[in-house]
């Protein structure tokens, strides 16, 4: 069982940066792939970034590649998303996600655990 709590959302201007953090419960945190999804009003939840448990491999949506960086600290049970060069199109509720398989982490319907989300608003 994993519980996730996001923080760090807020308002930022276009071109600015924001760092999201997700705190996870459970002593088996390191065995889970972790990811970030986002959902804008009227849109489906979309994959943003993910990081594997063992090995720390990462994957990113094309829309954020080169701008966002996902990282994790297994000792602290946290996963972060550093968001740079933010655009108005990045405005959404961002959700932390955990899954037992890295191959599933980019598929919203396959995710095992979700956080409640944190709102990121990028002003134009």
Mean pLDDT score of the chain: 94
| Cα–Cα distance measured from residue 112 to residue 98, given in angstroms and rounded to the nearest whole number | 6
Beta-bridge partners for 84:
none
Would residue 40 be called left, alpha or beta, if left means φ above 0 and alpha means ψ between -120 and 50 degrees? Answer: beta
Q: Are 1 and 24 in contact (CB under 8 A)?
A: no
Among the ranges given (22-26, 101-105, 120-124), the one the predictor scored with the smallest mean pLDDT = 101-105
Instruction: Answer yes or no: is pLDDT of 28 > 80.
Output: no
Give the whole-number percent of the chain exceeding pLDDT 90: 81
């Amino acid at each position: 069982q994993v519980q996730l709590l996001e923080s760090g959302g807020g308002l930022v201007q276009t071109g600015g940066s924001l760092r999201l953090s997700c705190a996870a419960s459970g002593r088996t945190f390191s065995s889970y792939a972790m990811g970030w999804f986002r959902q804008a009003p009227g849109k489906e939840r979309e994959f943003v970034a993910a990081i594997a448990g063992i090995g720390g491999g990462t994957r990113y949506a094309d829309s954020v590649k080169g701008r966002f960086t996902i990282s994790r600290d297994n000792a602290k049970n946290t996963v972060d998303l550093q968001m740079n060069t933010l655009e108005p199109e990045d405005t959404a509720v961002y959700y932390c996600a955990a899954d037992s398989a890295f191959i599933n982490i980019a598929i919203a319907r396959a995710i095992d655990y979700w956080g409640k989300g944190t709102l990121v608003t990028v002003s134009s």
